Amino acid sequence: MLAQAVESVPGSGVLGEPAFEQKFDGYRALLFTPTGAGERLLVQTRRGRLIQDRFPDLVAAAEQLPDGLVLDGELVVWDTAAGRLSFEGLQRRAAARGRAARELAASLPAFFIAFDVLQEDGVELLRHPYRRRRLRLEALFTTHRLKAPWTLCPMSTDLIKAQKWLESWTDVPGLEGIVVKAMNQPYRPGYRGWYKLRWRDTAEAIIGAITGTLARPHLLLLGRHDTHDRLRSIGRTVPLRPEAAHLVGENLTAADPEHPWTGMRFVSAWGSRDALDVTLVRPELVAEISADTAVDHGGIYRHPVRFKRLRLDLTARDVSRFRADPGTSAS
């Protein structure tokens, strides 16, 4: 099953009795344990790729798990040097094989955070309601005394507790929000029947380029100055609403020839190769944005941010500096 992004918790008329799980910033994956002799542990990404050879530490720990098991969960990596979860480390692990994969497992150990059990003892559980599947998942961890790298995803039916997770726990790198599920819900592969809420921070950024026209911009490409006063790209907005596009367009000025982004290539999404057709603008307007907590090393937003308003009371020099590390505060 998949989750659709929402801005608030759906009401009881949509979900009935809700359950809240912590949302981690990793790779969604299915885990299959052997069903017969000679088989091995399989780890499959959401797109269907088998990646267990990238994670020999998970394969080595598979002896803790019973045969005939299918788990749904999130694959994350712990950066032992930084003392936190690391999406960049996860990317490195996912790209490494052989000796490199074994070496990285020491400094960037992987963890599988299980939030659902789809098969147990070779018996499919998809039609069972989430309530029963969750009880079986908890019993699995208790009965087999599972320990790292196998982790049980925290879950609660208490809305107040979930709100605390959303408001305070998202300060922890790697935890980006909550997923809301219905307790009576069967598991429907490919269906977007869950809801995810990401904690969003408000911040300021400099408008350095746009798509669309100067009069009617469509997307805003944003930046911040680093400690050497270079304008660094940090992300882009979702499409602007008509009234916001009109307001921004009234204040944009075409770029001078010495714009710091001259010659740069911008892509349509994080990790994409599709180039955007952009128009550079004078980097002097400040936008207030709403962004989630998925931030790469260097302070680059992986997901498009939302434009809230222009800050005509601020100059580009008032905007926080580009951060060398998302865990350090800007000054």
> Measured between alpha carbons, how far is 253 from 209 in angstroms, rounded to an integer?
10
pLDDT at position 331: 30
pLDDT at position 328: 38
pLDDT at position 324: 56
Residue 305 structure tokens: 């941010």
Phi, psi of 248 (to 5 degrees): -65, -45
pLDDT at position 203: 80
Residue 301 structure tokens: 């937003």
* Cα angle for residues 139, 141, 142 (degrees, 5° grid): 60
pTM of the model: 0.69
pLDDT at position 183: 96
Contact 155, 73 (CB under 8 A): no
pLDDT at position 204: 87
**Residue of 113, 21, 110, 32 whose CA lies nearest to 69:** 32
pLDDT at position 99: 95
Beta-strand (E) ranges in the chain? 2-5, 18-24, 27-32, 42-45, 70-79, 84-85, 110-120, 123-124, 150-152, 155-156, 175-182, 192-198, 201-212, 217-225, 231-236, 279-280, 286-291, 295-296, 300-301, 306-310
pLDDT at position 130: 98
The number of beta carbons lying within 10 Å of the beta carbon of residue 37 is: 6
> If 0-12 CB within 10 Å is exposed, 13-18 middle and 19+ buried, where does residue 241 land?
exposed
Q: Which amino acid is at 92?
A: R
Q: How far is CA 325 from CA 63, 258, 322, in A?
A: 37, 28, 9
> Measured between alpha carbons, how far is 157 from 21 in angstroms, rounded to an integer?
9
pLDDT at position 268: 74
Domains of the chain: 2-198 (3.30.470.30), 201-318 (2.40.50.140)
Residue 118 structure tokens: 């789809």
**Residue of 88, 100, 273, 304 whose CA lies nearest to 205:** 304
Per-state percent for the chain, helix, strand, coil, to nearest 5: 20, 35, 40
Give the gyration radius of the chain's Cα atoms. Answer: 22
Helix axes 98-107, 87-95, angle to 10 degrees: 160
Residue ranges of the chain with pLDDT lower than 50? 326-331
> Measured between alpha carbons, how far is 96 from 102 in angstroms, rounded to an integer?
9
Q: What is the DSSP string of 112-134?
A: EEEEEEEEETTEE-TTS-HHHHH
- By three-state DSSP, how is residue 226 classified? coil
pLDDT at position 144: 97
pLDDT at position 284: 94
User: Which residues 6+ apart lie within 8 Å of 143 measured at CB?
Assistant: none
> Measured between alpha carbons, how far is 31 from 137 in angstroms, rounded to an integer?
13
**Residue of 58, 57, 108, 54 whose CA lies nearest to 86:** 108
pLDDT at position 205: 92
DSSP 8-state symbol, 254: B
pLDDT at position 172: 66
pLDDT at position 326: 42
